Structure 1
Amino acid sequence: MVRAKRSGRRSGKPDTRTEILAAARAMFADEGYESVSMRRIAAQAGVDPSLIHHYFGSKDDLFLAAVELPLDPAPEVAAVLKEGGVEGAGGRLMRAFVAIWDGPHSDKLLAVVRTSLSKPAMSFVLKQMFEHRIVKTVEDVLGAEVDHVDVRANFVATQIFGLVVARYILKLEPLASLGVEELAETIGPTIDRYLTMPVEHLTR
């Protein structure tokens, strides 16, 4: 009896999900979110692309699973920015981020940050979270309202990252004990300035 030759692609099996995650994690680390396609990840894992959609749904969902983020900050960032546009965006962002970092997933989020900061090999996780889920979201939502939005979004990210490290990792006082409204009133205007300052201050 002549057996049909196998195509080389594997159908679903118990470790397929693990193989997809391993391939995605390695490719996201080497090339970043934007440069990697679902089809290329499937090829690297040796599976049919449909299996990625079966196990994970979208590319965003695969990314979140690969880097083990407990939640996705992008929808919340998009929602608060769309709520009122550029005006007052800083305060709204501060309230949103404090709610996220003080919320039920805070321990897992902090574990991601601590691991990324202490292990260079894992720094891509933090970079991808800020670059793709925060910076790119600011760019996408406000791109039509402000010039040089890519630079402005990076400035916004520095403020958020600094708050996370100082308040939740180092626990610097009195910053660590300030309430959400105090943070919105003090840090919010700095973010607003990043989003609205004259273009010459951004490009010189």
Structure 2
Amino acid sequence: MTSRDGTPATTSREGTPATTPREGTPATAHRDAGPAITKAGTAGSRRRGRPPRTESADTRDRILGAAREEFSERGYEKTSVRGIAKAAGVDSALVHHYFGTKEQVFEAAIEVAFAPALTMRDAALAGPVTGVGERMTRLLFGLWENPASRAPLLAIIRSAVNNDTAAAALRRLVSAQLLRRIAGELQAEDAELRAELAAAQLVGTVMLRYVIKVEPLASADIEQIIARLAPVVQTHLTGD
């Protein structure tokens, strides 16, 4: 059999004439050809655990909020990245994506819990140095008297008391964000020691009143505590 132009047509093995493609017409794809490649390269290639671009911007805050709850209820040692992810309703890979390790999640939680304390620090240092002890004492206890700001601080301190890794993370933040900043405002050769002694006076009282709840300190009038404590803090900071 010949084609229209007189050229003999080839036959298949079964003897059935094979059709000759018309000139200029692209050949059809083979049946076994793989799936078409999408614009992105492959279909469904988004890494597991990563949020789509349209996901709400509050995902990180939701994870951090869940982490604070987990650390508060379970402590540092018993809290896991998987537990945080489950509480936040996300994949564990997403927690690692935003924060990294459990220790880094804890450090981020500390920063959030201590944000009011950092604001307090700036306010305490804003006035004359002669009144810094009273301002620092009043502002700090104002944070601890407020249940909303006290709860996250309690959770962080309890975790730090029971775990060395958590304690190290808290120590780094307190040293870098509080003590060194306060020491930098003091005109003394032993400024760092003075800042640490003042902080020890305040933190020790906080521990006894709010964490251990030793009486009668735990139920004493807050104004009475401030009146007695502020001059001591001032002496540590600026006294001879």
TM over 0.5: yes
Match of 1:21 among 80, 88, 99: 99
Spell out the pairing of 1:125-140 with structure 2 (5 A cutoff).
125-140=169-184
SS in 1 for 2:126: helix
Mapped partners of 2:110, 2:100: distance in 1:
10
Mapped partners of 1:107, 1:120: distance in 2:
21
Spell out the pairing of 1:37-56 with structure 2 (5 A cutoff).
none
1:147 paired with 2:189, answer yes
The Cα shift of 1:71 comes to 3.6
Deviation digits for residues 35-72 of structure 1 (CA, Å, limit 9, x no counterpart): xxxxxxxxxxxxxxxxxxxxxxxxxxx99625464241
SS in 1 for 2:213: coil
Higher RCO (CA 8 Å, separation ≥ 6 residues):
1
Task: State whether residues 80 and 93 of structure 1, in contact with CA within 8 Å, keep that contact through their aligned partners in structure 2.
Answer: yes
The Cα shift of 1:100 comes to 0.8
Task: State whether residues 121 and 178 of structure 2, in contact with CA within 8 Å, keep that contact through their aligned partners in structure 1.
Answer: yes
TM-score by length of 1: 0.63
1:91 paired with 2:134, answer yes
Mapped partners of 2:223, 2:156: distance in 1:
26
Deviation digits for residues 111-170 of structure 1 (CA, Å, limit 9, x no counterpart): 111111012231123313422232122123x14x33321111111111122012111111
Structure 1, unaligned runs of 5 or more: 5-9, 27-61, 199-204
Mapped partners of 2:237, 2:174: distance in 1:
17
RMSD, aligned α-carbons:
2.9
Spell out the pairing of 1:86-125 with structure 2 (5 A cutoff).
87-103=130-146, 104-125=148-169
Greater C-alpha radius of gyration: 2
SS in 2 for 1:172: coil
Task: State whether residues 112 and 125 of structure 1, in contact with CA within 8 Å, keep that contact through their aligned partners in structure 2.
Answer: no
Aligned length: 152
Report the structure, 1 or 2, having the larger helix content: 1
What is the percentage of aligned positions where both structures have the same residue? 25
